[in-house]
């Protein structure tokens, strides 16, 4: 198996684009090659099979969605952080759509379900721990509820934005933070 990290990242980024645009059924190693603009067979040199590709896409989506460290400096404000999260998801729309496709694919593939559950569980736990250690308002349950509420808002914002047009998204984020975190969010 090839080890060129830049080429692997480019192939995974191409796979994310294919997955977001075509869905799971359209994700083939050949489609990844075409999207990446590399010779046919290149992706198969990096990924032994489609299942391995799916797991590596999962990990690559998280690499691309990590917040900029500059956004986490200075005094922290929950509402501002949630707004930055939504902005990041909008900028990386295909990455989040690909993540949703992975969730759907996991309902049909037990091995991916196990990988996704472990990965998402660890990520959620790390986010909760960071939130609490940072001195932001709220308790563990409130942070988990906020995570679930933001996930729903992000899914609707990226997939059916007309649904949210009658509302101020910033106002919804502020209300979520204030209502779900005992000490307030702004």
In angstroms, the CA 36 to CA 138 distance is: 44
Asked if pLDDT for residue 3 goes beyond 80, the answer is: no
- Would you state the torsion angle of the CA atoms of residues 147, 66, 89, 133, taken in this order, to the nearest 10 degrees? 30
In angstroms, the CA 41 to CA 100 distance is: 27
Say which range, 93-107, 120-134, 172-186, has the weakest mean pLDDT: 172-186
C-alpha dist (Å) from residue 4 to 1, 7, 8, 128, 186: 10, 5, 6, 34, 45
pLDDT tens readout for residues 25-35:
999 999 999 99
The confidence band for 64, taking pLDDT boundaries of 50, 70 and 90, is very high
Asked if pLDDT for residue 63 goes beyond 70, the answer is: yes
| pLDDT at position 47 | 94
Asked if pLDDT for residue 170 goes beyond 70, the answer is: yes
Displacement of CA 139 from its chain's centroid (Å): 23
Average pLDDT, the chain: 92
In angstroms, the CA 5 to CA 51 distance is: 19
Q: Taking the CA atoms of the chain, what radius of gyration do you get in angstroms? A: 18
Residue located via tokens 């933070």:
177
C-alpha dist (Å) from residue 33 to 41, 62, 107, 134: 7, 22, 26, 42
pLDDT tens readout for residues 68-110:
888 787 788 999 999 999 999 999 999 999 999 999 999 999 9
| pLDDT at position 72 | 83
Residue located via tokens 């990455």:
95
Closest CA to 44 of 1, 12, 15: 1
Residue located via tokens 């990041």:
88
| pLDDT at position 1 | 57
Region of 66 on the Ramachandran plot (φ > 0 left; ψ -120 to 50 alpha; else beta): beta
What average pLDDT does the segment 55-67 reach? Answer: 93
Burial tier of 40 (Cβ tally within 10 Å: 0-12, 13-18, 19+): exposed
8 Å CB contact between 18 and 47: no
What average pLDDT does the segment 140-152 reach? Answer: 96
Residue located via tokens 């999207």:
35
Residue located via tokens 């930055």:
84
What average pLDDT does the segment 131-135 reach? Answer: 92
Task: Report pTM.
Answer: 0.88
């Amino acid at each position: 198996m090839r080890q060129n990290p830049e080429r692997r990242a480019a192939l995974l980024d191409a796979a994310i684009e294919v997955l977001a645009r075509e869905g799971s059924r359209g994700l083939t190693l050949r489609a990844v090659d075409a999207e990446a603009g590399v010779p046919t067979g290149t992706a198969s040199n990096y990924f032994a099979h489609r299942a391995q590709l799916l797991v590596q896409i999962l990990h690559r989506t998280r690499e691309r969605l990590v917040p900029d460290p500059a956004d986490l400096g200075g005094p922290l404000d929950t509402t501002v952080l949630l707004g930055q999260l939504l902005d990041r998801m909008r900028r990386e729309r295909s990455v989040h759509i690909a993540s949703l496709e992975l969730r759907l694919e996991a309902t049909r593939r037990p091995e991916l379900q196990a990988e996704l559950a472990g990965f998402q569980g660890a990520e959620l736990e790390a986010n909760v721990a960071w939130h609490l250690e940072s001195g932001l308002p709220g308790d563990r349950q409130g942070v988990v509820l906020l995570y679930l509420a933001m996930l729903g808002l992000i899914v609707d914002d990226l997939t059916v934005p007309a649904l949210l047009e009658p509302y101020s998204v910033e106002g919804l984020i502020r209300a979520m933070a204030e209502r779900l975190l005992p000490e307030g969010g702004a």
